[in-house]
Amino acid sequence: MENQRLPSPPSAPSSRARRVRSGTSVGQPDRLPPDSLAFSLLLAARVLAAVRGGQSLAQALAPLAGEAAPARAAAQDAAYATLRRYGCGEFLLRRLLARSLPHAEAEALLLAALYRLQSRPETAYVVVDQAVAAAGDIAAGAFKGLVNGVLRNYLRQREALERAMLDDDEARNQHPAWWLKRLRRGYPDSWQQIVALGNRPPPMTLRVNQRRIGVADYAARLQAAGLVARPVGAASLLLARAVAVDALPGFADGLVSIQDAGAQRAAELLAPRAGQRVLDACAAPGGKTCHLLERAEVELLALDIEEGRVRKIRDNLRRLRLSATVVLADCRRTADWWDGRAFDAILADVPCSSSGVVRRHPDIKYLRRESDIRRFVHLQREIIDALWPLLKAGGRMLYATCSVFDDENAAQIDAFLFRQPAARRLLEERLLPEEEHDGFYYALLEKAA
């Protein structure tokens, strides 16, 4: 699973999210020109307000599906960039507003506009003008004067405000305080690099379907299409710049998939052999499922607990022309889905904080609380304890997370090995976020014969 995993009680919104929950309405603006900056700012504001009110970014972006591609892309880029700058816009608003606004979209519009002013100061006049125009579609224009005043106030005080921001830990590092505390404790020598990478856009990495085409041949197709890429793994190509899926040669025909190089390590480490029976216990959206099938002819069972995510697994299998049994089920409730035949290999890509992929999912900064870590640790323990009896003697289970927090990683496996004397750790691989990949943890376990 690349991001959200088995559903569990949703995280309560942060204090910042709670104070802007009222007034959120992710509808579509109907008066602004669809190719205007005002239109994209308003769409972005509605996405931001929804996320700050507790929705995931995927949920908040869904209403934009009917918009024209350019407007949708512009709004999405603004929303992602603003969310990555956790704490920055909020810091500025605390100094520019006497009190928080009673309308979520109006405050979110200010956040999106402030990001734009910070990142493109040469367009200040246009940004202010278009933000005020966007405010005209919020609460019957009641906040137009306020938006204009706040943004012009920021421009007058910009240098002083930017200097003051350096003294605010959350705004300077663009992560929640509890998150920074954990990183400093766990990685005293590298936490700053982890934070810096978490604030940047992620790399776009491709996984070549080697059942259909070789890596060198696909690289040649990219080059012919004017796309620059370099190999970063056995089946991986890292694009020099991100592009739309439609620009990838043969994507619709299943020649290639988008998957982080770190995530591709799962299939490489589990390394099932032809003819083996394999379980992918938390499989959605299906990237690792498909990679396992691309590497070997195996009998694979893929599970997920959410119907919509199960559909994504099936869609990926269909596009890549691969075959697996896909079941809607909670992997912990083995009596509901297991037929009694043991597995040669199990992939337990468990629910986690997703702290290693935050640059790809910046809404996590707003939605996670520190108390969620304990809840994830409990759920992870339940999953691996339920799956272990289903593994053959001599079989292997790969435990995987996209977290950088030790509670979910090495500490979890140490506790499991204490509970299961028949388990042996074959290898452990911790990938911290780097330019070429996100953050992941893997532990390959073997059951005594």
Task: Judge contact between 234 and 268, C-beta under 8 A.
Answer: yes
The whole-angstrom separation of Cα 183 and Cα 432 is: 11
* 355 CB-near residues (< 8 Å, 6+ apart): 179, 364, 368, 402, 403, 404, 405, 439
Mean pLDDT, range 216-238, rounded to an integer: 95
Higher-pLDDT residue of 232 and 10 is 232
Global pTM reads: 0.91
Edge-to-edge strand list for the sheet holding 205-208: 229-231, 236-239, 205-208, 256-258
Rounded to the nearest angstrom, the gap between the alpha carbon of residue 417 and the centroid of all alpha carbons in its chain is: 29
Q: What pLDDT score does 245 carry?
A: 94
b (16+ CB within 10 A) / e for 195-230 = bebbbeebbbbbbbbeebbebeebbebbeeeebebe
What does the pLDDT read at residue 30?
54
* pLDDT surpassing 70 at residue 22: no
Q: Which of 361, 420, 350 is nearest to 80 (CA)?
A: 361
Q: Select which of 282, 331, 352, 402 is catalytic.
A: 402
Q: How confident is the model at residue 3 (pLDDT cuts 50, 70, 90)?
A: very low
List the structure tokens of 391: 């593994």
Strand order in the sheet with 325-328: 325-328, 299-304, 277-280, 343-349, 391-401, 440-447, 423-431
Residues 233-257, mean pLDDT to the nearest whole number? 95
Q: Is residue 18 over pLDDT 60?
A: no
Averaged pLDDT score across all residues of the chain:
93
pLDDT in tens, 161-210: 999 999 999 999 999 999 999 999 999 999 999 999 999 999 999 999 99
Is residue 2 within 8 A of residue 285, CB to CB? The reply is: yes
pLDDT of residue 1: 52
Would you say 82 and 112 are in contact if contact means Cβ atoms under 8 Å apart? yes
- In this model, does residue 213 exceed pLDDT 50? yes
Query: Taking 60 as the threshold, does the pLDDT of residue 45 lie above it?
Result: yes
Tell me which residue of 39, 16, 189 sits closest to 100, measured CA to CA: 16
Q: Among residues of the chain, what percentage have pLDDT more than 90?
A: 91
- Apex CA 372: angle with CA 289 and CA 104, to 5°? 100
The pLDDT, as a whole number, for residue 395 is: 98
pLDDT number for residue 26: 47
pLDDT at 318: 97
Average pLDDT over residues 423-437: 97
Residue 447 pairs with which residues in a beta bridge? 423
Nearest Cα to Cα of residue 147 among 130, 135, 165: 135
Above 60 in pLDDT, residue 15? Answer: no
Q: How far apart are CA 48 and CA 55, in angstroms?
A: 9
DSSP character for 110? H
Say whether pLDDT at 218 is over 60: yes
Helix (H, G, I), strand (E, B) or coil at 354: coil
402 an active-site residue?
yes
Domains of the chain: 15-173 (1.10.940.10), 204-259 (3.30.70.1170), 263-447 (3.40.50.150)
Of the pLDDT bands very low, low, confident and very high (cuts 50, 70, 90), residue 4 is: very low
